[in-house]
Structures are given as structure tokens and as C-alpha cells.
Amino acid sequence: MTSTITLSQNRMVHHTVLSNGITVLVTENPSADIIAARLFLKTGSRWEPYDKAGLSHLVAAVMTKGTEEHSSLEIAERVESIGASLGTDAASDYFLLSLKTVSADFPEMLDLAGELLRSATFPEAEVELERRLTLQAIRSQQEQPFTVALDRLRQTMYGEHPYALSGLGTISTVEKLTRQDLQDYYKTYFRPDNLIISIAGRITPDQAVSQVEEILGDWKAPSTPVADLTLPIVTSNPTRNSIPQETQQSIVILGYLAPSVQSSTMADYAALKLLNTYLGNGLSSRLFVELREKRGLAYEVSAFYPTRLDTSYFVTYMGTAPGNTEIALSGLKTEVDRLCDAPLSEEEIQTAKNKLLGQYALGKQTNSQLAQIFGWYETLGLGVEFDAQFQAAIANVTPETAQEVAGRYFGSPYVSLLGPAEAIENLHLA
């Protein structure tokens, strides 16, 4: 089945589903002789058992280290000999294989990508090497105060849900991962009916679909579908964590459970994305101007609200001098509460809209960006139509709806504090 979808900015994304279940998205962009492809699989750390956290990351790290036909060195030489790029990554809600090359070499690179998808071997020596490197990375993270405080916040907010843990996993889970675990994961989720291929560049839709069909068309989907996930329900129970640590600054983080990106919560999602831009995006943001520039409280201050398949979280944070910890905590809470107590002005809302939509447009300029964003939307189950829907939803946010949404989500916060014991213990939060 094939359909053509018209998007804003005169982009046409062609959507095709092959007989074996592979979804192919093609955005023709002849302006440069480059083709980028993003191959998404509906898996990632959200699909990991809690006691195997870090599995997706390890699969991504080892997947390019050998196939039934080529060694790790041969794969690297094949990519570098034509000046192409190829990489793998694992996120919370997807697994990704990325490639970019000149148009003439795209069939060769797509063939190599198909080989990695179908016949990666996960050599034992490579698994062991990447496991050691991952453990080093986890230990390095444990020495970063902000990361420690944020990890504690996530663990408190999400409990047994996979979102509680870093994508790298933990020392205890990664130490136990085996080559067999990687192979089982690969066998379970790497299948044609779980694959979305998003291609952008100097290639026609017919050419792209034909090349995918030639390379992957004979890949048969297993008769048994991927099992449905049963994940713990995330419920709100705001608590405070204090992590005594002799640091030169205190880390102050406030967290609020926030909606997923599903269509049922689109209006709330858009309003919170806009409030995130207003609060914490850039040097003109409310938090930066009020708490750093005017009051001199912050070494660093910002906010973020990631897009997630399941319940997300809205976070504001600050790094401050230990002596200012209580004032910083109060200042962050005051700025969030302000969004609930009174509507923003029309000028404030419009400025935030202009910034958010301008940055969004700039994020869709290159072939790699186009392949990424459309493939990501399709993988999340939103469809590429979400590109236009999101922009319309942002445009429709009013000061009153933003205040109403803030009032529903910004109640009592989860709090994570890290710093010298005398600075973070027994603090008052109004």
C-alpha cells in the first residue's frame, strides 16, 4: 500500500509498506548529491527487562563489529573507502541505524545496512570489549554531579519503569549481560515488520523503494508477532532526595510527571513544549534572565521536556553556589508556580512560539534531519502528519490554555538535591 502525504514547507513524503512489513518513507530533495537514511526499529531501552538495563546500548555498540560475511575491520574499510558514514544508536523509544553517502554509493551502503540488520554476529571478544567500555562510561557518569542528581530523580519518579534508568544501564545489569542476551534481543526485534526506513536526498521514491525491495524484499517476517509490552504504571508521588557530596556547587532539580506524545494528549503536549521554551530555552529564557542574569544565582539553569511514548517528565534545574541552595530551590519553584498563578502575556506567548517554531524549522534543513524527524514520527506511531499537526497545535496555544495546562501538571514537584550536606539538608520548600 502506498500513499503520498503533503507537509508544510512544500515537503512531500512518500509512504510505502512492502509485502514483508517494511515501511519506507522517501523525501526527495535534489538540492545536493547526498542521500541520508535512518533505519528505525521499534525497540530501545523501553523494551529492556529492568534487570537487563543497557542491553540496547550494548547491541548498538557491537552490531557493527562483524557479520556473517564481513569482519569489523572490513565493515569499517568498506564505509571509509567511499567517504560515507554509518552508525548505530539506542534511545528510550527506538533503535537506529544511520547512514549518509553520495547518491552513487547509496545502493552499496544500503546493502551493508541490510547485512547488519540480518546477519550481525556479535563476536564474544567485541561484546566483552564494549561491555568494559560501557562500565567505564557508567563510572564516569557517577562522577558527574548533575548526572547523579538526575538519575536519582528519574529513579524516584519512574520506579520499575525502564525510563527510570540511564540508557547505558547500571554497573550491576551491564556486568551480567551476555552475548546470548544480545543475540536474543537481536532475534526478537530485528525483523522486517518492525522496521521503518526513512530516506531523504537526491533519489526518487520509485528508486528508493526499488532499492530497498531488492536488498531487503526477501527478508521474511516471523509468523509470531512481537509480544506486547506490559510496563509498570507510573503514578505521581512527589518526594525529595538529598545526596550529600562535597562539591563546589549544589545541583537543584525539580521534576513533574508530564504527558506522552500520544494524540490524546496533543494539546497538553504542545502547551508544555511551549512553556519549556519560555522557561528554559536559551539566553533569553525566563529562568536564565531572572535567576542568572538578574539575581546571579545560577552557574547553569535550564529546563527540558523530552518527547516520550510513555509518561514523560518536565524538569527545571540549576547549578548554584552551596550557600545559595535554598534560595535557588525557592527561585525555581517560584518561576514554575508563576505559570500556574497567572497567564503569560500575549507578547510572551508569541515570542515563545516564534522561538520554538523557528528552531523547529531549522531542524529540518539537511537530508539527515529530514530522514530523522519523519522516521522518528513514524516509529512513535504518530505518522509523518504529526509534523504539521505539531506546528498547528503550537500556534493554537493561548495564554489561558497554557496556564490551565500548567496548573494541571505543575503541582508538588519531585526534588533532587546534590551538594555539601550542610547546604542541602533541612531546606524549606514552600
Q: Kindly report the CATH number assigned to the domain that includes residue 11.
A: 3.30.830.10
Within this chain, do residues 55 and 175 fall inside the same structural domain, yes or no? Answer: yes
d(CA 287, CA 145): 20
> Is 222 a domain residue?
no
Within this chain, do residues 192 and 276 fall inside the same structural domain, yes or no? Answer: no
Dihedrals φ, ψ of 168, to 5°? -75, -20
d(CA 60, CA 412): 38
- pLDDT for 2 equals 65
d(CA 141, CA 179): 24
> Is 233 a domain residue?
no
d(CA 314, CA 336): 11
- pLDDT for 276 equals 97
Within this chain, do residues 176 and 91 fall inside the same structural domain, yes or no? Answer: yes
pLDDT tens, position by position, 389-412:
999 999 999 999 999 999 999 999
Q: Residue 172, class by beta-carbon neighbours within 10 Å (0-12 exposed, 13-18 middle, 19+ buried)?
A: exposed
- pLDDT for 282 equals 87
Helix (H), strand (E) at residue 131: helix 124-141
d(CA 100, CA 97): 11
d(CA 337, CA 326): 16
Encode 49-62 in three state secondary structure: CHHHCCHHHHHHHH
Helix (H), strand (E) at residue 140: helix 124-141
d(CA 12, CA 387): 12
User: How many domains, the chain?
Assistant: 2
> Is 230 a domain residue?
no
Spacing of C-alpha 186 from chain mean position? 21
Q: Which amino acid is at 301?
A: V
Evaluate whether 62 touches 348 at the Cβ level (below 8 Å): no
Q: Specify the pTM.
A: 0.94
> Distances from the Cα of 30 to the Cαs of 3, 34, 407, in angstroms?
21, 8, 47
- pLDDT for 298 equals 79
Within this chain, do residues 66 and 142 fall inside the same structural domain, yes or no? Answer: yes
> Is 92 a domain residue?
yes
Q: Which residues of the chain have pLDDT under 70?
A: 1-4, 6-10, 428-430
Within this chain, do residues 212 and 347 fall inside the same structural domain, yes or no? Answer: no
d(CA 59, CA 193): 19
Within this chain, do residues 137 and 197 fall inside the same structural domain, yes or no? Answer: yes
- pLDDT for 294 equals 86
Within this chain, do residues 271 and 125 fall inside the same structural domain, yes or no? Answer: no
Within this chain, do residues 97 and 170 fall inside the same structural domain, yes or no? Answer: yes
> Distances from the Cα of 225 to the Cαs of 122, 188, 307, in angstroms?
24, 9, 26
381 — alpha (psi -120 to 50), left (phi > 0) or beta? Answer: left
Pick from 318, 324, 257: nearest CA to 287: 318
> Is 43 a domain residue?
yes
- pLDDT for 1 equals 55
Residue range of the domain that includes 294: 240-424
Within this chain, do residues 398 and 342 fall inside the same structural domain, yes or no? Answer: yes
Within this chain, do residues 314 and 412 fall inside the same structural domain, yes or no? Answer: yes
> Is 228 a domain residue?
no
> Looking at 165, 184, 216, which one is the last position of a domain?
216
Within this chain, do residues 285 and 383 fall inside the same structural domain, yes or no? Answer: yes
Number of CB atoms found within 10 A of residue 136's CB: 10
Within this chain, do residues 285 and 161 fall inside the same structural domain, yes or no? Answer: no
